[in-house]
């Protein structure tokens, strides 16, 4: 049985973790102070119903608070390092090559957190419908998943090798 806490772990490189932690620290500290000053300055301009600057600053504040919550949750669940990987088995940190059923085209991507952006190849989240369906599958196995439009799609795993970086 898989520990449910393990399923929610997001593996990050040290560089990605440090970048996200510093963004979190800025937004939850100086960022909050800056936006509060903007709101106060706009409030002093008078009538709030027709004050575009005030409404823009409040909207910016809402987006910032959402990002702070997202970062806090991500950092709480993050582990620095590499997910345990077995060549030939799909999992986070693996470069995966698949073929869609009824199609000869092959697609290669990195199965990893979206926060690992910067990879020179496409990154698919292990939590996406495709990522969830193929996680744990071995070369030669097939997986079927439901796309956002409600249709199902089947893929065959052609290759799964540890991502080396680039």
Domains and CATH numbers, the chain: 4-80 (1.10.287.180), 94-162 (3.10.50.30)
b/e burial code for range 34-56 (CB count within 10 A of at least 16 → b): bbeebbeebeeeeeeeebeebee
CB atoms within 10 A of CB 124: 19
Q: What is the mean pLDDT of residues 35-51?
A: 85
**pTM for the full model?**
0.54
Distance of alpha carbon 100 from the chain centroid: 23
pLDDT tens digits, one per residue of 66-111? 999 988 988 888 877 766 566 778 888 788 999 998 888 899 988 8
Closest C-alpha among 128, 9, 138 to residue 76: 9
Closest C-alpha among 153, 152, 119, 112 to residue 135: 112
């Amino acid at each position: 049985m898989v520990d449910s806490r393990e399923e929610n772990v997001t593996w990050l490189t040290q560089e990605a973790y440090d970048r996200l932690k510093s963004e979190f620290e800025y937004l939850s500290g100086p960022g909050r102070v800056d936006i509060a000053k903007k709101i106060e300055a706009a409030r002093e301009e008078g009538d709030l119903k027709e004050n575009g600057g005030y409404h823009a600053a409040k909207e910016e504040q809402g987006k910032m608070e959402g990002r702070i919550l997202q970062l806090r949750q991500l950092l709480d669940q993050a582990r620095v390092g590499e997910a345990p990987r077995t060549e030939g088995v799909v999992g986070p940190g693996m470069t995966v090559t698949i073929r869609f059923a009824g199609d000869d085209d092959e697609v290669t991507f990195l199965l990893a957190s979206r926060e690992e952006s910067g990879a020179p190849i496409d990154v698919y989240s292990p939590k996406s419908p495709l990522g969830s369906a193929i996680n744990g599958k071995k070369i030669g196995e097939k997986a079927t998943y439901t796309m956002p439009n409600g249709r199902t799609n089947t893929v065959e795993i052609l290759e799964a090798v540890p991502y080396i970086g680039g």
